[in-house]
Structures are given as C-alpha cells and as structure tokens.
Amino acid sequence: MFRKIYLKLTLRLETFTHVVPLPFAIYFSVVTGSGSYLSKDEMLTVALAGSINATALIILGCLWRWFYLKKLLREIKSIYTNSSLSQEEKILIKIKLLKYPFKEAKIIVLRWLTGIIGSHLLIILVAGVRPGLHLTGPFLFFMITPISYIAYYFISENVVRQIFKLRKVKQIEIGIEQIPQFNSFQRIILSMVAITIMPVIVLGYMLFGMKTGLVKLDDPSLHLLIMSVLFPVPVIIVGYVVAKTFRNGIMGINEHLNQLGKGNFSIVSMPTSSDDFGLQSYNLNQIIKQLNSLYREISDLNVNLEHKVEERTEELNSSLKKVEALKVQQDGDYYLTSLLLRPLGQNLAMSKNFDFTFFVKQKKTFEFRGKKNEIGGDICVSHTIQLQGKTFHVFLNGDAMGKSIQGAGGSLILGSVFQSIIERTLLSPDLSEQSPEVWLKNAFIEMHKVFESFSGSMLVSIVIGLLDDSNGFIYYINAEHPFSILFRDGKAHYIEDESFFRKLGTLQINSSIFIQTFQMLHGDTLLIGSDGRDDIRMMDENQIANVNSDPNRIIKVIEQKNCELPQIYESLKEYGEVTDDLSLLKIYFHKNPITSKNVDLEINIILESIDKFIHAKLYKEAINLLLSKSQEFPDTYELQKYLSQLYAQNGDYPNAILIGVRYIDFVPSDTEFFYFLSTCYREVGEYSNGISIAERLRLRQPNHIKNLIILADLYSHSKNFQRAEELLQHSLKVEPENSSALSLREVIRKRKNS
C-alpha cells in the first residue's frame, strides 16, 4: 500500500511541477533577459548548475516524502497490529494524516524558495552581482509558490483520502475542534489568487521591463503564442483538482446519505479532509449515532413490547412501593419533629393584667397513622420570669428559614435554646438580678451565636421581648421580622418604621445591639406575626397570580376583625392562598377603671403649688408638700418624680436616689430620668450603681451623648479607664466638637496618670 500511494502521489506532484510552475519559471527567466546579463559561457555554467540544483531539490523532496509517508503509514498499520494502542494515540495518528496535505504544500514552497535563492547564488559565484537580474527573484517566487501550494495540497488530499476509508481508520472518532480548518471559501479564494497571479506577474513585469529597458522583445507574436499555450494549463489543472476535491467531498456525503436512506444506521461518517465536507461528515456522524441509538431502541421495543410493558409496570410498582415507604418514613420524621416542637412552643405566661394568645398555622400538613398534623418553621413562646424582684413576661415569635422539615429544624433549635435560657434564669440568682435590658441583650446574643455556628445555612427572624407585668412597659428586639402592630381604640398601626437587626445566624454582623421600648396602655392590643401574614398569592383581573405587595392589607384586616386571630386568618384566605407558615402572637392589656377627673384636677393644683415653691426657692416646703400628697395619692408616680428631683436640687442625693429608684420601677418608660438618676449616684460616689443605670439607658439609646459622657466619667472613677475611653471615643464620633466630652477626655488622662 505504501509503494502504491507513494508512487501515485510522487508522479502527480512532480508531473504538475514540471508541467506548470517550471515552464513558467524558465519562460519568465528567459523573457526577463538572463541572456542580456550573462555571456554564453556564463549561461551554460548557470544552466548546468541550476539543473543540478533543481534535480537535488527534487530528489530531496522525494526522499522526504518517502520517509515521512512510510513512517505515517507504519503508524496507521499499528492501529491494526498493536492492541495496546490507546484511543488518544489513534486520534493523534488520524490528525497527523489530516495534516499531511499541509506538510506537502509547505515543503514545495520551501523547495522553490531554496531553488530560487540557490540559483541566484550561483549567478553571483559565476558572474558576480547583477542587480537587474536579481530583481526578478521575488517576482518569480510569488508567481509560482501560490499555484504550487494549492496544487500540492489538493493533489495530496485526493490521494491520501483512500487511507481514511480503511475500516479501523474510519472508526476513529475525533472532536470537531481537532479537525484542521481549511474551509471551501479559503480554498476557492486561494485558487483564484494562485491562477490569477501568474499571468499578472509575467505580463506586469514584461510591461515594466519594456518601459524601463530591462526587457526587449524582438518578436512579440512569438511571446503571444507561448503565453496562449502556457496560461490555460494552470487554469485547467487547478480547476480540475479543485473540482475533483469538491466532487469527492459531495460523493462521500451522498454515499452516507444513500446508506441512511436504505436503513443502514451502522455506517460511520468521519472527516477525510479539512474543508466544510469534513465538518459535515463529523456532524452527519453525530446524527447517524443518534439515529442508530433510536433505531435500536425502537426495534428492541417492537420486538419485546409486551415484555417491556410488563417490566416497566413492575418497575413502576416497585418504585411506587419505595415512594410509599419513604413517604411513611418521612411522615414519621415529621411526626417525631412535631412532637419535639410541641413542648417548646407553649403559652406559659401567667398574668392577671395581660392575656397572651397564639395562632400558628404551618404550611406543610401531613398524616401519620391516621393523625393529621402540621410542621413548619414558625414558633410562638411565652414564659414568666423574675428580674430584680419584678415580674416580667418573656415572649418570642420566630420564623426559621425554609418550610417543612428545614424550617422545623431551625424552629426546634430556636425553641430549645430559648427554653434553656428561661430555665437558667429561673434557677440562677445571678441571672435573675440582671436588668431587663441586659437580660434581653444577652439572650439575643446567645441565640445568635448558636445560629451563627451553622455558617449562614440556617437563619431565623424573631421578635423577642420582655413585658413588665406591673405597668405594661415592653423591652424588645426585632431581628428582620415583620413590624409589630398596635391595635388601640379600633385602629391599627405599625409601632416601627425601620429594621435595625438582621436575622439570627447572619454572618459578619458587627452592629451594636440596643433595646427598643414601647409603653402599652390599658386596653391596648399588640400583635406580632411572621411574614406569612403578607405572603398571599392573589389573582388579578386577567387571572394572573401575583403575590400581595400591599403592606397595609394586614392593617385593614385587623381593624375589620377587631384583632381576633382566627378571624384574621380566615379573612386573609379570602384574599388568596397563604403561601407561607403563619404565626400570630397577641398581647392584650386589660382595661383599668377610669381615673376620676376630680383626682386629676387635684393633682394639677398640687403641681402648681409645688412650682410656686420652687420659683421662690422654698425647696423644703415643696418637699414637705410632696411627701404629704404622695401618701394621699400613692399611685400618682409623677409626684414621686418631682420629689426625687427636689431632693437632688436641695443636695439630698440619697433620698433623691431612694425615691428615684422607686419611680423608675413603676415608670420605666421615662428614659431621661435614668440619666438624672445616674448623676445622683455619681454625686454620692456609688459608681457601680450609676454605671448599671447608665448602661440600661445606653442599651436603649446608644447615641445619647449626655449619657455616654457621664457613663465614661463613672467608669473613670471606677478605674476602668479602657472602658471610659471607648465610650468617650464613641461620643466624639457622634459629636466631634462636644465641649463636655473634650473636657472629660483631659480629666480622664489626668486621673489615669495620677
């Protein structure tokens, strides 16, 4: 096979060289006046040397082809003989075969370049430098190399195409990106350029030479005859080679299509060239493979249809049983989780002044052993604890990320951690002595740290709060939960307008924690709920589903249903489908008997009398009046506030503190009085008590400048200079030019250095 291909390829290539480019080169050399530049002896010497040079190049070209083609065919033979040859190695061999025509084309260009340069070097050796003659070298090179490149490529491609038809070579599949790209458009353009450039260069140089005197034509008719014979030859040969290449490509595609038309889906269509037909062969092979797979499947289905139906039916029944078993197991897991959640989401707050009501409707419902239940991520909890000798009701409404088991997992963790905090508070005297602000802050941080350990995969929005049973004052934190709603005198509105904290478990949250407060009045109802109250899928006029986008819809529903929880849920369902878990926590403050207007009038008369004493600087008389009237009206806490302030103005700070502490126990909403009380503690040197009061105020209002300054002063008196400087630095960030803060900074420096 090697000899046959080698001889066939060499004969065609070298024949073309001696029929087309070589006659043109000789003619061009004669016409351009080699004889006018060289003597007869020099001409004979150059002609002899040039013949030797050309012969040597032909021999070298044939030798290169011999060894390279022999090596390539030996590798192709190894596909049949070497069973250990990997698929990657086979692909590389096939790619090398596809690239072979490019190598032949490049070698012929190199041969011509070497031949032309060699010929001109011989002329220099024999006759010296002849500028006019050497000028023709580049023209000769660019005239014959394009036609040689295109012809060698097409001839080589047509000859080696038969190797691709070998069975094992044909079956080697290569990727479309591995096929060398030389498309039909490029081939046609290059062929036209190669054919056109020969006569253009010959005629162009002749006209140029005749005008400049470099070329002399003694007999123009003879040259016209020669050109009429030479010029059609490359056109015919190149046209034939190109047409044959296209015909072979089309015939290859048609052959495969004919086989497909006959129902032969086992054929393999692989590229035998680098043009568009090669790409089409690759794409056609992909289609054949799909058709073959489909044909086999259909044939197999037709032959074994009944058996297949029975087999598939059995598989479906088996899958159905597995699904049912998994469903039972899943519902069992749901049921167990719901049992674990049940004791964690209880309403255990006990109060004569407040009613706590829960409504929880989880989105996921299930049935296990005949019992219907539901599971989800919403939870409501309430407890009663003692802090600093006072009764507080702890409440929590949480919404864990995800529905069904995922949300239930978050709710289970939240409920467990919260229950642990409650139990420790009930058992630990130290925890029960914390202020409500500090207790709430620590509880929030502890829950956040637990969920933070899940690296952001489990998030929970919550509202957690403390309710003072004696006066209805609420301390709370809202962590990206829907805003709480106050229902008062038949009207509902949000008590918040901004969210300050992210969900529990949110990573990289560095914001400081502060406590929000709200004072409930007798007859008020506070409603806290998850986002299920807003997630309602409704149909518009065009029957297109949209999620509710009206934040005031829940407000209207509360007012319409008088804040009754079951009726609120039913009303929401009338708007559309509730698409999320829904939980509502309602706190109702019982109404007290209305205070007599006569009592209010008498209190106003007392306060007017006290103001007169104060203007007259009769502080002792004002104090005595307040002491007597405080006993007469013990529930009028405003009198105690005046009394505490009068004691302070009179320099009696111990009594001011005694009355002031009693006052803030009953009226914790008077935030500014906390600042006043901390100044009194500083005056008597009770710095730790002053710090405790000022820290409570800071937890409510982190940027209260006066409180930050006095708190820094108290810490510096207690020798905690680091904490004092931190607080002072914070105050200066809020008000950089605050004179009190700047003065205190110098005082703290002196205290620190003394």
Task: Kindly write down the DSSP assignment for every residue of 70-111, as one continuous string.
Answer: HHHHHHHHHHHH-TT--HHHHHHHHHHHHHHHHHHHHHHHHH
* Local confidence band at 35 (pLDDT 50, 70, 90 cut-offs): very low
Q: Residue 214: pLDDT above 90? A: no
Say whether both 396 and 531 belong to one domain: yes
* Local confidence band at 45 (pLDDT 50, 70, 90 cut-offs): low
Q: Is residue 34 part of a domain?
A: yes
Say whether both 575 and 645 belong to one domain: no
382/81: higher pLDDT: 382
pLDDT for 163-175, tens place per residue?
877 777 777 877 7
Provide the pLDDT for residue 43: 62
Burial 114-133 (b: 16+ CB within 10 A, else e): ebbebbbebbeebbeebeeb
Percentage of the chain surpassing pLDDT 90? 29
Determine contact, residues 513/522, Cβ cutoff 8 Å. no
Pairwise CA distance, residues 526 & 587, whole Å: 5
Say whether both 197 and 282 belong to one domain: yes
Question: What is the arithmetic mean of pLDDT over 400-423?
Answer: 87
Question: What is the arithmetic mean of pLDDT over 405-427?
Answer: 90
pLDDT for 535-591, tens place per residue?
888 877 677 777 877 888 999 999 999 999 999 999 988 888 888 889 999 999 987
Q: Residue 528: pLDDT above 90? A: yes
Task: Say how many residues make up the chain.
Answer: 754
Say whether both 644 and 519 belong to one domain: no
pLDDT for 605-653, tens place per residue?
666 666 766 666 666 777 777 776 666 666 667 778 878 888 888 888 9
Provide the pLDDT for residue 597: 45
Q: Is residue 325 part of a domain?
A: no
Say whether both 158 and 85 belong to one domain: yes
CATH classification of the domain holding 738: 1.25.40.10
Provide the pLDDT for residue 38: 54
Residues 6 or more apart from 327 whose CB is under 8 A from it? none
Among 532, 514, 533, 562, which residue's Cα sits nearest to residue 699? 514
Pairwise CA distance, residues 518 & 700, whole Å: 11
Boundary of a domain, candidates 552, 567, 589: 589
Say whether both 625 and 578 belong to one domain: no
Q: Is residue 317 part of a domain?
A: no
353/76: higher pLDDT: 353
What is the pTM for the complete model shown? 0.57
Say whether both 443 and 532 belong to one domain: yes
Q: Is residue 307 part of a domain?
A: no
Determine contact, residues 465/440, Cβ cutoff 8 Å. yes
* Local confidence band at 269 (pLDDT 50, 70, 90 cut-offs): low
Q: Residue 745: pLDDT above 80? A: yes
Q: Which of 281-285, 668-672, 742-746 comes out lowest in average pLDDT?
A: 281-285
* Local confidence band at 359 (pLDDT 50, 70, 90 cut-offs): very high
Pairwise CA distance, residues 604 & 610, whole Å: 10
Q: Which of 345-349, 395-399, 407-411, 528-532 comes out lowest in average pLDDT?
A: 407-411
Indicate the number of domains in the chain. 3
Q: Is residue 324 part of a domain?
A: no
113/557: higher pLDDT: 557
Q: Residue 149: pLDDT above 50? A: yes
Residue given tokens 């394009």 in the structure block: 146
Using N-to-C axis directions, what is the helix angle for 87-127 and 2-19, rounded to 10°?
A: 40
Strands in 491-494's sheet, in edge-to-edge order, are 354-361, 582-589, 525-529, 485-488, 491-494
Q: Is residue 244 part of a domain?
A: yes
Token output for 627: 């002491």
Q: Which of 194-198, 353-357, 458-462, 595-599 comes out lowest in average pLDDT?
A: 595-599
Provide the pLDDT for residue 437: 94
Q: Residue 226: pLDDT above 80? A: no
Provide the pLDDT for residue 691: 93
Pairwise CA distance, residues 739 & 659, whole Å: 32
Provide the pLDDT for residue 18: 76
Say whether both 350 and 256 belong to one domain: no
Q: Is residue 73 part of a domain?
A: yes
Pairwise CA distance, residues 347 & 341, whole Å: 13
622/406: higher pLDDT: 406
Q: Residue 598: pLDDT above 60? A: no
Say whether both 116 and 245 belong to one domain: yes
What mean pLDDT is reported for the chain?
A: 81
Provide the pLDDT for residue 244: 75
Boundary of a domain, candidates 541, 567, 589: 589
Q: Residue 213: pLDDT above 70? A: no
Q: Is residue 320 part of a domain?
A: no
Among 137, 246, 235, which residue's Cα sits nearest to residue 193? 235
Provide the pLDDT for residue 271: 65
Boundary of a domain, candidates 246, 272, 296: 296
Domain that holds residue 650: 597-753
Say whether both 575 and 644 belong to one domain: no
Q: Give the H or E element holding residue 395.
A: strand 390-400
Residue given tokens 């005629």 in the structure block: 203
List C-alpha distances in Å: 292 to 302, 415, 496.
15, 61, 68
* Local confidence band at 689 (pLDDT 50, 70, 90 cut-offs): very high
Provide the pLDDT for residue 267: 67
Say whether both 287 and 171 belong to one domain: yes
Say whether both 440 and 412 belong to one domain: yes
CATH classification of the domain holding 382: 3.60.40.10
